[in-house]
Amino acid sequence: MTTTAALAPATRRSPAQRYWRSLWLLTARDLRVRYTTSFLGYLWSIIDPLLMAGIYFFVFVIIFDRKVPGEEPYIVFLVSGLLPWTWFSNAVTDCTKAFTREAKLLRSTTIPRTVWVARMVLSKGIEFIISIPVLLVFVVATGARVHWEAVYWIPAIILQTVLLLGIGLIVAPLVVFFRDLERAIRLLLRVMFYASAVIYSFQDLEKHGLGTFAAFNPLTGIMGLYRSAFFPHALDWFTVAVSAVMSVVILVIGIFVFRGSIRTVLKEI
């Protein structure tokens, strides 16, 4: 069965059922292509964050002998930030190609166009989830404690999904009109990596008087939720509240941008 045939709407299904079926079919296809046609398969989901963690661990711990009370073991601190960052970065990057990569299939199906963005977020989110065992290996190896705040991973994943959907709905159509935006977003992601609390904590920024500025980065509160499972002091409810509000606002803006541009997008691709 071809992808186009599989996505053909079934008359007995409700619009919601057709939407979720189409989303799952496209997401499953993306994952199947990524893992069944690759020799390394699953390893590709963990190589990037592991390589980055190794580099930063070597630089900060081995070279600069970084020892910050409350952030030890630092490798767990690093990986707990790098895994969600990898999801964020890869999903945003893929969203820039959501319409341009498969324009013919996009035009030949009648499923809601938002599915083409949601599939990018969902597929990268699944890769994030299946990479969590890597973090657990470091937790066990270093003897790090897992606190009850681990339950906050659920709202963290929900918030990050909302944020990514909003960003995706904005960048996916705009890249069709402004092709240079794809490269610009890659550069912006590099800046955001160092501007976000990935290799350092929000508390580090507060010590330098940058706490208020950093709080309005929606990733700050989300990172705090993830890290609170191992470092409870990393949780700051003000930053979480700001992240929640900004994620919802970005999603609403994304919906308006998407609705206002999708017809023109279909003519351009």
Return the pLDDT at 15: 73
Return the pLDDT at 24: 86
Q: Going by C-beta distance under 8 Å and a sequence separation of 6 or more, which residues neighbour residue 248?
A: 162
Does 177 score more than 60 pLDDT?
Answer: yes
CB 169 within 8 A of CB 251: yes
Averaged confidence pLDDT in the chain: 85
Q: Where are the domains of the chain?
A: 40-268
- Torsion of Cα atoms, 105 then 108 then 114 then 119, to 10°: -30
How far is it, in rounded angstroms, from Cα 118 to Cα 116? 6
Q: Where are the alpha helices (DSSP H) in the chain?
A: 3-6, 15-36, 43-57, 74-95, 103-108, 114-130, 132-142, 153-177, 181-195, 202-207, 211-215, 218-227, 237-268
Does 8 score more than 60 pLDDT?
Answer: no
CB 205 within 8 A of CB 224: no
Average pLDDT rounded to a whole number, residues 11-15? 66
Handedness of CA 242, 244, 246, 247 (dihedral sign): positive
Each residue of 201-219: pLDDT tens digit?
A: 888 888 777 888 888 999 9
Q: Which of 82-91, 195-204, 224-233, 235-244 has the lowest mean pLDDT?
A: 195-204
The CB density around residue 210, as the number of other CB atoms within 10 Å, is 13
Average pLDDT rounded to a whole number, residues 8-23? 71
How far is it, in rounded angstroms, from Cα 29 to Cα 27? 5
Q: DSSP secondary-structure letter at 196? A: S
- Residue of 193, 183, 196, 171 whose CA lies nearest to 261: 171
Return the pLDDT at 60: 73
How far is it, in rounded angstroms, from Cα 44 to Cα 110? 33
How far is it, in rounded angstroms, from Cα 156 to Cα 219? 10
Average pLDDT rounded to a whole number, residues 110-126? 89
Average pLDDT rounded to a whole number, residues 83-96? 93
> Residue 39 is which amino acid?
F
Return the pLDDT at 74: 84
How far is it, in rounded angstroms, from Cα 95 to Cα 231? 32
Does 7 score more than 60 pLDDT?
Answer: no
